[in-house]
């Protein structure tokens, strides 16, 4: 227990301070390809045209991948709970957030990959986007998914689901103290140690 409260030197501190630490980006292997993605500049838009033919012919380009090359696979068994298939890796008909990947280029170096991404021809039709969570309750709120909501058990054409259990008014009447407020928790990305198979 001598370590508790003690100032211990970082085992990797000298390497970081001297620049000798090798990061993944520093590793080079024979035959390695560099990948760059074409990402949406829009928060919500329909993809009207996507042409990768020029990018595919550029020198140093090994592959250009779009949604047609990546099958939509279902991992896990969440469909039993009414949760639909995983979202696609690459956008197909529309984009739902700024930065969503649409196509990926693998090339011999980063310059070739970046040039090929720039050569991809794409046309968008911008669609209304939501920037305020509270406005998603509005009846005329833009629908992010064509089928209304990502979860089929959500109500109608709303972006949200309201869950009610018990008698809220009665519980408030019987409560010794009521604390009300608007809470905005940060988004989290789950990272389970076990695989979901």
pTM comes to 0.68
pLDDT-based confidence at 128, cuts 50/70/90? very high
Q: What is the pLDDT of residues 138-150, one digit of tens each?
A: 888 887 766 544 4
- pLDDT mean over 84-100: 84
Spatial separation of the C-alpha atoms in residues 109 and 94, rounded to whole Å: 29
Domain ranges of the chain: 29-129, 130-173
User: Strands of 121-126's sheet, edge to edge?
Assistant: 94-95, 45-51, 121-126
Spatial separation of the C-alpha atoms in residues 168 and 115, rounded to whole Å: 59
Query: Is the pLDDT assigned to residue 190 strictly greater than 80?
Result: no
Does the domain spanning 29-129 belong to CATH 3.90.550.10?
no
How far from 20 is each of 14, 15, 16, 23, CA to CA, in Å? 8, 5, 7, 9
Spatial separation of the C-alpha atoms in residues 138 and 157, rounded to whole Å: 10
pLDDT > 70: percent of the chain:
79
Spatial separation of the C-alpha atoms in residues 6 and 12, rounded to whole Å: 17
């Amino acid at each position: 227990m001598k370590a508790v409260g003690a100032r211990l030197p970082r085992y990797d501190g000298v390497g970081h301070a001297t620049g000798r630490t090798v990061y993944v980006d520093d590793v080079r292997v024979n035959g390695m390809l560099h990948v760059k993605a074409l990402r949406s500049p829009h928060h919500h838009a329909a993809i009207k045209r996507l042409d990768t033919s020029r990018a595919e012919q550029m020198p140093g380009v090994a592959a250009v991948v779009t949604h047609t090359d990546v099958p939509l696979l279902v991992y896990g068994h969440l469909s039993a709970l009414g949760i639909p298939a995983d979202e696609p890796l690459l956008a197909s008909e529309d984009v739902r957030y700024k930065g969503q990947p649409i196509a990926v280029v693998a090339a011999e170096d980063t310059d070739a990959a970046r040039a090929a991404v720039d050569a991809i021809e794409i046309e968008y039709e911008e669609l209304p986007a939501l920037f305020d969570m509270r406005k998603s309750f509005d009846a005329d709120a833009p629908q992010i998914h064509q089928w209304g909501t990502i979860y089929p058990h959500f109500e109608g054409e709303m972006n949200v689901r309201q869950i009610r259990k018990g008698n809220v008014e009665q519980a408030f009447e019987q409560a010794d103290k009521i604390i009300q407020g608007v809470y905005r928790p940060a988004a989290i990305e789950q990272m389970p140690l076990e695989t979901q198979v």
